[in-house]
Chains A and B, each alone.
Chain A
């Protein structure tokens, strides 16, 4: 009871802080923010990524949207564990196939079956390269094969990599834009490589060239 109240307040506080720092703005470009089960897949450059997506979602959608995050990061300290599991209600997956007891795709499918929407980062790790997008891991394909009717919504996060680069503590207040694109679906019989390629292109198509920047 007290724990969930603290979690709720902290969640609201984090969203407000993210908003104050980044003046974040959602652009719905091909899909509307309505109640529907979705898998949001986004580019990943910063630990703040899912916080930002979560912040720009309308509160009614926010309550039902769970980020998929790495347990090897979120379970390392008690504070992180509280924020990860109680505030954001994350689906925590173990990225290491050697040690994990649960299959990540099964965990995600279970969350979907409970009615949640998901936020996932198919690159699998934060992108610190000069490339706009790293090659996708295969999880997105397996998830789409298990639940082909669910909307896969590409989400491009612009500028957060400058606000909070890997390894920095102080966030720089810069304006961030979160662009939601038209959903894609796995076509019947579509091979893995072709699908992941198409998903990556759908995401990159939302990225900012000149006039699309904030």
Chain B
């Protein structure tokens, strides 16, 4: 698979955005944060630095082709599942079920996508893992909080492996007139969703007044939500040339995935509240954990995949 020219163009745009963001970050730092006491600006700058790394990694994976993208998302799934299952309820009796989740189910799901076996990868975790993992736990005869334990483990697999794997699954779609370009669907999805997150942050910081769900997420405001999803949907429409969609279709697709991304962020915040943590992890400076960055992507990826597959793909 060669990298389509459109991807290079998109990357040039992303680089321009990052350069501008870095300059703004540096100016803010010099004007308002000389002493390093402004936590918002310090956090903004660590976020921007982390973005450089994330973009570089994604670009490298795409240049390495289909295998590169599969490996990258398998690693992301691993890191996300580790964060998720660190917080879930588990006991010694779940040891084999947890080992199977990490070392059998996760790699197998990505292998299935690699060999393009749609009939199995679309049901493997919701059916087979769903039925077999509780069996592994039950065989050890520990019934305390049994339903909580198996349900939380399955939820982790659905979010961190099943949903996340639908990003590289986009590579398996056959769309007439779009041969060899399906990598651009990933670029469209990831860019739109992440741009929406960034713009929600920017609009929220600039204008945010009215909180949407104060008890759940103090940082989410109506101004941030509307500004962010609309800006990103318009940007998505402007990227129609990456996709098999017309500009209006691209706008609607972008709207669907940014809305799902926003709602996914809310669901994942509810889980963090429930478990009493602020961030999912600590490995991405300024952002928190991998799930903090991926939450919106995992909620939009399966729906984006199935909409595109149903309306545009031949299989």
Chain A contacts to B: CB under 8 angstroms: 23, 25, 159, 162, 165, 168, 170, 172-175, 209-211, 213-214
Contact = CB atoms under 8 A, between A and B. Distances in A.
Contacts of A162: 90
Nearest to A25: B282
Interface string B81-125: 011011100101001001100110000000000000000000000
B176 interface: no
Interface stretch (B50-58, B157-165, B273-281): B273-281
A132 to B, nearest CB: 15
B283 interface: yes
Contacts of A209: 276
A172 B78 CA distance: 11
Contact of A165 (B79, B95, B102): B95
Contact of B102 (A159, A172, A175): A172
Contacts of B276: 209-211, 213
Contacts of B82: 23, 173-175
A162 B90 CA distance: 8
A214 B86 contact: yes
Given A165-B92, A170-B103, A213 B87 contact: yes
Nearest to B290: A23
- In this complex, the interface size class of chain B, counting residues with CB under 8 Å from chain A, is 20 to 34
A23 B95 contact: no
A213 B102 contact: no
Contact of B95 (A172, A175, A211, A213): A172
A209 B275 CA distance: 10
A165 B98 CA distance: 12
A210 B275 CA distance: 7
A161 to B, nearest CB: 9
A174 B86 contact: yes
Given A168-B95, A170-B95, 4 more contacts: A25-B282, A210-B277, A214-B86, A214-B282
Q: In the complex, which of the residues A25, A159, A174 has the most CB atoms of chain B within 10 Å of its own CB atom?
A: A174
B86 A170 contact: no
B95 A173 contact: no
Q: In the complex, which of the residues B83, B86, B281 has the most CB atoms of chain A within 10 Å of its own CB atom?
A: B86
B270 to A, nearest CB: 15
A25 to B, nearest CB: 6
A175 B78 contact: no
Given A159-B86, A162-B90, A173 B102 contact: yes
Contacts of B99: 170, 172
A175 B84 CA distance: 10
A209 B277 CA distance: 10
Q: In the complex, which of the residues A159, A175, A210 has the most CB atoms of chain B within 10 Å of its own CB atom?
A: A175
B281 A172 contact: no
A175 B276 CA distance: 16
Contacts of A172: 85, 95, 98-99, 102
Contacts of B85: 172, 174
11 contacts: A23-B79, A23-B82, A162-B90, A172-B98, A172-B102, A173-B82, A175-B83, A211-B277, A211-B278, A214-B277, A214-B282
Contacts of A214: 86, 277, 281-282
Contacts of A210: 275-277
Contacts of B98: 172
A170 B281 CA distance: 23
A159 B78 CA distance: 18
Contacts of B87: 213
Nearest to A21: B82
A157 to B, nearest CB: 14
A213 to B, nearest CB: 6
Nearest to B278: A211
Contacts of A174: 82, 85-86
A213 B87 CA distance: 8
A175 B278 contact: no
Contacts of A23: 79, 82, 281, 283
Contacts of B275: 210, 213
B285 to A, nearest CB: 13
B273 to A, nearest CB: 10
Nearest to B95: A168
Q: In the complex, which of the residues B95, B276, B278 has the most CB atoms of chain A within 10 Å of its own CB atom?
A: B95
Nearest to A212: B276
Contacts of B86: 159, 174-175, 213-214
